[in-house]
Homo-oligomer: A and B are copies of this chain.
Amino acid sequence: MIDNLPHRTELSELGEFGLINYLTNNIKLNNPSSIKGVGDDSAVLNYGDKQTLVTTDLLIEGIHFDLTYVPLKHLGYKTAVVNFSDIVAMNGSPKQLLIGIGASNRFSVEAMEEIYKGIYLACKTYKVDLVGGDTVSSPSGLFLSATAIGEAKAEDIVYRNTAQKGDLIFVSGDLGAAYMGLMLLEREKHAFKADPKMQPDLEGHDYILGRQLKPEARTDILKLLKGVGIKPTAMIDISDGLASEILHICIKSGLGCNIFEDKLPIDITTITVAREFGIDPTTCVMNGGEDYELLFTISQADYEKAKGIQGISVIGHLTEKNEGHNLISKSGSVVPITAQGWDAFLKKGMK
């Protein structure tokens, strides 16, 4: 994916300052809170009566992404969006982004430009300003750090630790597809390694591949909830799999939960591919990760208002802590939920 670009300019030809200028000289700041962007020691932001949200991620080639099948533009897009998703999961609006890139001389200026194209597209889509960053060399491999800054009124911010007993548990969209997309890409990679003449068999899998390669932050869900006057009691984005995320909310809120397997939203293509791989679709949902959907809780009093919203599903409710964290299977058996999610020290995946 890094050698099929039409031109190749060595990073050393531009030098560090040259590269930053080259990559950032067309930035226009759009948000009133962005006073000064790239080009000084710090960006300058101005938040009046709003509170400021800030989040950071570090992404490493061979751990969080595989350039054998991830196009550089998609990598840039996803790096930005997963950080926006962290702001959205606080019920906030992402407004600024800072990007750090470490690249070895295996990467050309054109390769860096592709990454930035994806970053700029994400910024444009989500109306976020790129306000700064750092571009450095690396002895081998590609490293990305992203810091997103957002805003929200103090009374609108939704934390993880404020869920109440009896609250209903919702998720947006469907789950498990991003994980099956990754499995599919990994399978084709290994097949290609075994026989470089083979053509990748990815046809008919646009949906799950898109979920893996080009996730979105669910700003639309925040709007829909606000539109009917619902403020979630707790919220988190699903980067590590549903099991891990619901445990975060439960443990921080001092509660238990019952999740119902037959309520889990799974796309039919996810189910088909999961079965093809011999993986239980529920396992994809619980432990797969990278869906970047929102997991949130609302009080029962808000259920009538929530019912009419398209694209969200109620999957369970919160209980007393001593009732445990349970998945109620389709057959009615009770399975304790454990976090086997996306552990960065154990397996691959962008968190």
Contact = CB atoms under 8 A, between A and B. Distances in A.
Q: How many copies does the complex hold?
A: 2
Nearest to A51: B46
A122 to B, nearest CB: 17
A346 interface: yes
Interface residues of A, number: 77
A41 interface: yes
A44 B55 contact: no
A215 interface: no
B60 A139 contact: yes
Contacts of A136: 58-60, 63-64, 344-345, 351
A102 B58 CA distance: 7
A320 interface: no
A316 interface: no
A292 B127 CA distance: 35
Interface string A1-40: 0000000000110111101000000000000000110011
B101 A345 contact: no
Interface in A188-243: 236-237
A62 interface: yes
Contacts of A92: 42
A179 interface: no
Interface of A: 11-12, 14-17, 19, 35-36, 39-47, 51-64, 85-87, 89-90, 92, 96, 98-102, 105, 131-141, 143, 145, 147-150, 154, 157, 159-161, 236-237, 244, 252, 339, 343-346, 351
Given A42-B87, A43-B54, A136-B344, 17 more contacts: A12-B345, A15-B346, A39-B161, A41-B85, A41-B87, A41-B160, A41-B237, A42-B89, A42-B150, A45-B54, A47-B47, A47-B52, A54-B149, A136-B351, A139-B141, A145-B147, A147-B147
